[in-house]
A and B are shown apart, each in its own frame.
Chain A
């Protein structure tokens, strides 16, 4: 009872404070300022307050209303995703949406004109709110972005966005924003007619007042902005030829989502059914019904879960002790200017961190400079950056052959050849050339961090920082904590990874760390399937088209390099024993000249441009396999690979604590391998199948194909007690 009253009191407080009406004579200034939060969001208490405010405006004698935020760089960030997460059934969703529509409709139907004065992020529900206003003006500030990112969470705009946005900006611009979950800056918003004016941030309120006064004086009045296409072609495409636009949009969306993400298609259907066809109430009912269908899917739940995991990383430091703070990092150095070193220099400099590359020749440095410049050149061409941005970023990278400037570096990342002896030698040199506080990280992908650091004088300042190739595209960094690594060092590299725009996950030093450890059974199982005579193309296709992996195992092995794969399989066999037996073909592979993508000869054929173009059929005969002598169906092909991964993950997570939580394991797999986000991650996928089912199948496969499928102790325990990873 007490608790309830408290909660009600708090709710009332949120209610009153979150939206205030300030009297400006004839004009009502409606201020959004959610107490105790950095952002404004449309949670249910805020919506309740909005309802009161709209009713108050309706009953008042105000002649115009301005909606404005009192937060620094946020207008309204959107609906409350925590709340969405809690909703379970279609009925629950419908209640929330119907209520929201009543409020937004009441706002839209006010007799007095309304002006949205937008500064900062105006996303999702926030964007849908301004669409229910009569006029919209926004600031030209960098922070001002208006958009509908809902599809990224497996849902689509449900507060009327699918109905109002096409009406305001026309079909093409609306589909562009809704289906891809895009946001636009004020310049673009003005161009497509989403806003009426783009003004300097300092003048926003003044300009809104000027517009409001024009309304009061009768120069401007209530309106409902309706898009008018310009030019014959656009008129046709927004009118009689709408079906062409729909068809094209569907094609593009399916291509991008590979059919795994239903939300954008559902949104497209809503727009197709309603745009220029239905009155508001009827159209909104269509939106509600379709929204409830996608919102209750696992896909949406998984994507929302992923969103929270990513938000969680933002707040984490990488260590348990909350008193530990990351050391400030201004300048860094990278040993080695090759593919990885150059990539690391690029991501650091791109985020404004000055980086010095060291290599053994000017020619090697030149490759690092060239690789970084090439990526920025592409961004320049697409107008993502200006030529001044490019110069400033490029100027942050310097290079040298000696240890010049190393004394003043806060972090040095070693990215030289994967050879324990050479690495140990170079790390000892580096330690001698750097200051006492300098943190040294190795970008090894396969060597033991503990062994590498054993001779260092300051092992507490040494750890692993494993980037994935290509560094500019792959978002994961495995922060590998050695036995002697200090909390400060982990926190510093964790923080630096985030500053570089990466998602860090802390793992313990063990063979292959986390991601490669789990990927390897998958790749090696594919090789076994090849040995049996299965069709490689079929296997890759099952994984990409049916399961949703970005690449199948054969294609991935080609990308990694077949020589590297062979090397790693052997390392795993040595370290982890029987379950990582070396398939016979791997031995043959190591004797062949097939290196994969790097020498354009692997499991795949490569065209003149060097792009992979279908399986190289000569692989079968070369390795003495009769193609098609074994037939494998989708279920088996996927289960054999995935279940070995799950089995290995149970060891890494539960038995060895290589990673702390199932959530981090899944995050690492999604960010490091492109494991399909809509499945929520490897362990989420396992949990949904049920640990008893996974173990049962592992046993079936073990009896058929051997010990490598034997369920781990941890896996057996889970199954026995019917528990899940999460």
Chain B
């Protein structure tokens, strides 16, 4: 396809390091993670902040002290008061949604410069009081006499004080009632994916991530976080990748979600993670006007829905839609980032896309979409090693893919991920660097 002034291009993208929840970034608010990344993105691109039309940031936790977190991040990073900002939510694809929303705005001609990104502090997801406690508390607060107040208090029982853990509730599907790990168990059983297969995949993720760390490949996209208030502790790289990870130690882990017959362990699933990432999108004509050389352009994107119990297959549903819109085939993809929520779920996607019968029955296609070459898949490791800050991952996948195409001087790439609630998202990128 020939270049058009309406093309949506990516100028650059930056992220914070990712750290396992409860780890070194646990004390950093999600808005601060986003601010650090955005401030550095502005610095790296020498962006005139008055040019920004909209800030769109993905986030799932919605911290109660920063509900429209996009606006909070925008102002704290120094964007002018007049620049509007909104937060988007599509679960695991919230950050991908920020990019595709920006894409739509630019394509529609209502914006030329969009900051898209994602941020998540899964460490800081709160504990919530039970419904009963909230009712009693409300009654207490509204009763006017001491007698009535005491009456309200009398109803309180110990069990009402047991908190609801929002991260657990968030990772449980509210439609079918099973949690994300259990959706992966469904796929492992349906596609007959063994524990060893999954552990091998997990090991590969760590080995590739460690190598990418050592080669400095990951450092290209990372800006350090200085921990306030003393700033002496500096988190400069992803905390997740384990040097010396091996099959033996992976094999020792017990299945977490289905203790009896399961194969999903914390070793072959992604951890809860903190991190933020930001990306600068422009229309091609604006980029040219401001003298920017884009790194990539967005060829197409698509979302698709499926059975929430099999949400991990999302990429298999969304990918053919996005490829069709781009007029490209899976074999045209020189690099693929497929988010590793669970090793089983990634392998299931591989199998589904390569299967004629699946593609015919489930996707209504004439034949299989194609085989995924592991030599092109998640070449710098994936979420099993790096982590999956839910609202941030979309940006991470696209930025990693973009730099991969640039470094290897390849043309097309695919970023795709599964979405809790039963959806998939996919985005096709073209190298412009």
Contacts and interface: CB of A to CB of B under 8 A. Distances in A.
Interface of A: 354, 356, 362-363, 365-367, 369-370, 373, 377, 391-392, 394-396, 398-400, 404-408
Given A370-B230, A373-B229, A395 B43 contact: no
Given A362-B236, A366-B234, A404 B40 contact: yes
Given A391-B76, A398-B40, A366 B232 contact: yes
A392 B76 CA distance: 7
A373 B231 CA distance: 9
B12 to A, nearest CB: 10
Interface in B75-108: 76-78
A405 B229 contact: no
Contact of A370 (B40, B78, B231): B231
B46 A405 contact: yes
B35 interface: yes
24 contacts: A354-B78, A356-B43, A362-B224, A365-B226, A366-B226, A366-B231, A369-B226, A369-B228, A370-B229, A370-B232, A373-B231, A391-B76, A394-B228, A395-B78, A398-B39, A400-B40, A400-B223, A404-B43, A404-B44, A404-B46, A405-B46, A406-B46, A407-B46, A408-B47
A363 B236 CA distance: 11
A406 B226 CA distance: 21
Contacts of A392: 76
B224 A408 contact: no
Contacts of A408: 46-48
Nearest to B232: A366
Contacts of A356: 43
A278 B96 CA distance: 80
B346 interface: no
B280 to A, nearest CB: 13
Contacts of A362: 224, 226, 234, 236
A395 B40 contact: no
B264 interface: no
Given A356-B43, A405-B42, A395 B229 contact: no
B76 A395 contact: yes
Given A370-B229, A400-B43, A405-B42, 9 more contacts: A356-B43, A362-B224, A362-B226, A370-B232, A373-B228, A373-B229, A373-B230, A395-B78, A404-B44
Contacts of B43: 356, 398, 400, 404-405
A11 to B, nearest CB: 47
Nearest to A401: B224
The number of chain B residues touching the other chain, given as a range, is 20 to 34
A396 B78 CA distance: 7
A362 B43 CA distance: 16
Nearest to A361: B234
Considering the complex of A and B, which 4 residue pairs feature the smallest CB-CB distances, nearest first?
A405-B43, A369-B231, A407-B46, A404-B43
Given A356-B43, A400-B43, A377 B226 contact: no
Interface string B21-47: 000000000000001000110111011
Given A363-B234, A366-B234, A369-B226, A395 B44 contact: no
B233 to A, nearest CB: 8
A589 to B, nearest CB: 34
A377 B77 contact: no
Contacts of B42: 405
Contacts of A363: 234
A406 B230 CA distance: 26
A395 B39 contact: yes
A149 B48 CA distance: 44
Nearest to B77: A395
Nearest to B48: A408
A88 to B, nearest CB: 53
A504 to B, nearest CB: 26
Nearest to A376: B229
A367 to B, nearest CB: 8
A356 B44 CA distance: 12
A406 B42 CA distance: 11
A367 B226 CA distance: 10
Nearest to A397: B39
Contacts of A354: 78
A243 B28 CA distance: 54
Interface in B32-67: 35, 39-40, 42-44, 46-48
Interface string B207-238: 00000000000000001101011111010100
Nearest to A398: B39
Interface in B233-263: 234, 236
B162 to A, nearest CB: 32
Nearest to A362: B234
Contacts of A396: 78
A367 B233 CA distance: 11
A356 B230 CA distance: 18
A395 B47 CA distance: 17
B53 to A, nearest CB: 18
Chain A CB count within 10 A is highest, among B40, B46, B226, B231, for B231
Nearest to B44: A404
A650 B35 CA distance: 54
Nearest to A406: B46
A233 to B, nearest CB: 35
Contacts of B229: 370, 373, 377
A407 B376 CA distance: 37
A354 B78 CA distance: 8
B47 to A, nearest CB: 8
B48 to A, nearest CB: 7
Contacts of B234: 362-363, 366
A369 B76 CA distance: 16
Most buried by A among B47, B48, B230: B230
A400 to B, nearest CB: 6
A396 B35 CA distance: 11
B35 A395 contact: yes
B48 A405 contact: no
A399 to B, nearest CB: 8
Contacts of B224: 362
A404 B76 CA distance: 19
Nearest to B224: A362
Nearest to B229: A373
A335 to B, nearest CB: 15
B432 to A, nearest CB: 21
B78 to A, nearest CB: 6
Contacts of B47: 408
B9 to A, nearest CB: 19
A511 to B, nearest CB: 37
Contacts of B78: 354, 395-396
Nearest to A371: B231
A391 B228 CA distance: 11
B24 to A, nearest CB: 14
Nearest to B14: A404
A354 B48 CA distance: 13
A635 to B, nearest CB: 50
A354 B46 CA distance: 13
Contacts of B44: 404-405
A693 to B, nearest CB: 55
A354 B79 CA distance: 11
Contacts of A367: 231
Contacts of A369: 226, 228, 231
A399 B40 CA distance: 9
Of A354, A363, A369, A396, chain B has the most CB atoms within 10 Å of the CB of A369
Nearest to A356: B43
Contacts of B223: 400
A363 B224 CA distance: 11
Contacts of A394: 228
A553 B165 CA distance: 64
A373 B43 CA distance: 21
Contacts of B228: 369, 373, 394
A147 to B, nearest CB: 32
Nearest to A354: B78
Nearest to A368: B231
A373 B230 CA distance: 8
